Amino acid sequence: MYLTKAAARQQFLDARARRARSEGLLASAQQVLPDVYRVALYVSMGPEPQTGALIDWLLATNHEVLLPILYADNDLGWGVAPGAADLVPGRLGLSEPPIDLGSDAIATADLVICPALAVARDGVRLGRGGGSYDRALARTRPGTPVWAAVYDTEVVATLPFDTHDRPVHAALTPNHLIPLQRSGHD
């Protein structure tokens, strides 16, 4: 059991820092991707589960990919992925699309795959603490599947949560998709 979100966050960040290599999400996503057109995703960094090959595959198979744009207030706008070579530098070293469609563009996504440090079996998602994705996920259409991208070892029994935390439907790992029992605190 984790006493605080900060303690849990630090434990998962430390474990990721010790990973020998980051694994990608492409193989597992290819096996479970529902029949969708527009996927909201993100460009992975460092030891996060890698999304680059997944983004390339989605674009090559005629899907549209929305990528986040981090605003100064830590909220997220969204832009259509033009291809990896055409991304521009964003805040905090992020790679972003050059055209911002606004923060409400996530409501047009058919599937959202968001970053996480860990996810609990009841759907509680532990992010990095800025609240960016909790605000963005509040704007998704009802019924839109939301998957958290994590490693298998980052799917845990429970995590601390706050009332503003937005639960997710599943955990996408490099090995498989793990359906989660969404909690009543969403």
Give the residue numbers of the binding site. Answer: 43, 48, 125-133
Give the residue numbers of the binding site for substrate: 43, 48
Residue 110, Cβ density class (10 Å: 0-12 exposed, 13-18 middle, ≥19 buried): middle
Task: Please enumerate, by residue number, every residue annotated as part of a binding site for ATP.
Answer: 125-133
Do 143 and 82 touch, CB atoms closer than 8 A? no
> Where does residue 28 rank: exposed (0-12), middle (13-18), buried (19+ CB within 10 A)?
buried
Residue with tokens 């509040």: 138
Contacting residues for 154 by C-beta, under 8 A, at least 6 apart: 12, 15, 116, 117, 118, 119, 171, 173
Q: How far apart are CA 154 and CA 117, in angstroms?
A: 7
Phi, psi of 79, rounded to the nearest 5 degrees? -135, 155
Measured in degrees and rounded to the nearest 5, phi and psi for residue 111 equal: -155, 140
Query: Sign of the CA dihedral 180, 148, 126, 78?
Result: negative
